[in-house]
């Protein structure tokens, strides 16, 4: 697999101004009391929420520490270490929290070692257990760690604290170094938590998804019209969600802007019914591709009705269907 798909690590900073301090406090409160924009935190006290590595364990403590350790231009840095949800799915659920913390601690220690900062850097981290909002695969477990770093770091050479910085130029690119460090930390962790076959398992998942998308090379099952009255082809199909489950939905061409601000199109999947076995999803896609009768809204209605059934009821329904001549009759 492409090593750049292993994990995402992003860095931002707040300025040491009144607005910057306010934004920083708001960010700390959000990180403490939310899992995501739409979900409250599982813990409500900062002492339970934060891992303190020299920056404090609550909103007030971390905010004060940021102010004490700020530089002329930076109040605090915020870093996110976010492993690929498809790879997280290979880790046993009971091990995912430990995996995320071990990854984060390894990344921070190794990254600053590579930068020659032997004294280390103070930090505090909070783990979020959000679910993905990826339109192709919503609802996947996406544990990730938010890290707060100070604006300065102690320098043995100077005998005092000096500004901490993240350069990104031809001579020094700390962001690229951070990405490489994250990738280097992910591989041995996956070997240990999942097993050395993790990459083959991921590549197999990616290959299955590519094969499933090949349905878009056939004649479309229907068409849909967008708000600008443009007509787009639609294919009823499936997408492998994980090693255990597949989603039923549809593929469609979607307009997307490119770097030149010109519009291009990409094929994307939209799930309508998730958590199905691979065989059940494939069989339902065959049936619904015909039963939708060229109408995307009909497909959505059929999928909604199927979602209200138990797995046993869906199995019994499919047993009555001829593969090429479905007469799917549902109470819509």
The DSSP result for 211-254, as a single string, is: HHHGGGGS--SEEEE-TT--EEEEEEEEEE-SSS-EEEEEEEEE
Q: Domain residues for 17?
A: 3-196
Asked if the model's pLDDT at residue 325 lies above 60, the reply is no
Give which of 30, 22, 27 is closest to 12, Cα–Cα. Answer: 27
Same domain for 162 and 244, yes or no, is: no
Same domain for 188 and 256, yes or no, is: no
Domain of 169: which CATH number? 3.30.930.30
Same domain for 137 and 273, yes or no, is: no
Average pLDDT (67-76) is 96
Distance of alpha carbon 188 from alpha carbon 318, whole angstroms: 44
Q: Is 266 part of any domain? A: yes
Same domain for 170 and 79, yes or no, is: yes
CA dihedral (83, 86, 87, 91) positive or negative: positive
Q: Looking at 26-40, 242-256, 274-288, which range is the least confident one? A: 26-40
Same domain for 165 and 225, yes or no, is: no
Same domain for 12 and 143, yes or no, is: yes
Distance of alpha carbon 51 from alpha carbon 34, whole angstroms: 16
pTM (2 d.p.): 0.89
Q: Is 113 part of any domain? A: yes
- Split into its structural domains, the chain has a count of 2
State pLDDT tens for residues 107-139: 999 999 999 887 789 999 999 999 999 999 999
Runs of H (alpha helix) within 167-320: 174-193, 198-213, 278-291, 296-307, 311-319
Q: Is 246 part of any domain? A: yes
């Amino acid at each position: 697999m492409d090593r750049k798909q292993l994990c995402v690590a992003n860095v931002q900073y707040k300025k040491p101004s009144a607005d910057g301090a306010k934004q920083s406090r708001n960010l700390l409160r959000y990180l403490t009391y939310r899992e995501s924009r739409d979900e409250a935190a599982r813990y409500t006290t900062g002492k339970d929420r934060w891992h303190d590595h020299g920056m404090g364990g609550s909103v007030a403590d971390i905010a004060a520490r940021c102010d004490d350790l700020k530089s002329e231009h930076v109040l605090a840095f915020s870093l996110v270490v976010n492993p690929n949800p498809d790879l997280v799915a290979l880790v046993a659920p009971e091990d995912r929290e430990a995996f995320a913390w071990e990854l984060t601690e390894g990344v921070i220690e190794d990254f600053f070692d590579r930068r020659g900062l032997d004294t280390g850097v103070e930090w505090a981290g909070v783990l979020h257990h959000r679910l993905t909002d990826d339109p192709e695969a919503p609802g996947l477990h996406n544990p990730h760690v938010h890290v707060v770093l100070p604006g300065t770091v102690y320098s043995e050479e100077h005998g005092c604290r000096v500004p901490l910085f993240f350069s990104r130029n031809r001579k020094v690119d700390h962001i690229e170094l951070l990405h490489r460090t994250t990738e280097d930390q992910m591989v041995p962790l996956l070997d240990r938590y999942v097993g050395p076959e993790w990459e083959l398992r991921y590549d197999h998942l990616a290959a299955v998804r590519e094969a499933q998308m090949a349905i878009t090379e056939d004649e479309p099952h229907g068409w849909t019209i967008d708000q600008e009255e443009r007509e787009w082809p639609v294919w009823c199909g499936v997408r492998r969600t994980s090693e255990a489950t597949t989603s039923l939905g549809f593929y469609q061409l979607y307009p997307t802007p490119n770097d030149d601000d010109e519009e291009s199109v990409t094929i994307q999947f939209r799930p309508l019914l998730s958590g199905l076995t691979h065989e059940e999803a494939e069989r339902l896609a065959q049936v619904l591709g015909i039963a939708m009768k060229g109408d995307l809204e009909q497909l959505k209605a059929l999928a909604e009705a199927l979602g209200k059934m138990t797995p046993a009821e869906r199995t019994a329904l499919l047993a009555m269907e001829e593969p090429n001549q479905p007469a799917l009759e549902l109470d819509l």
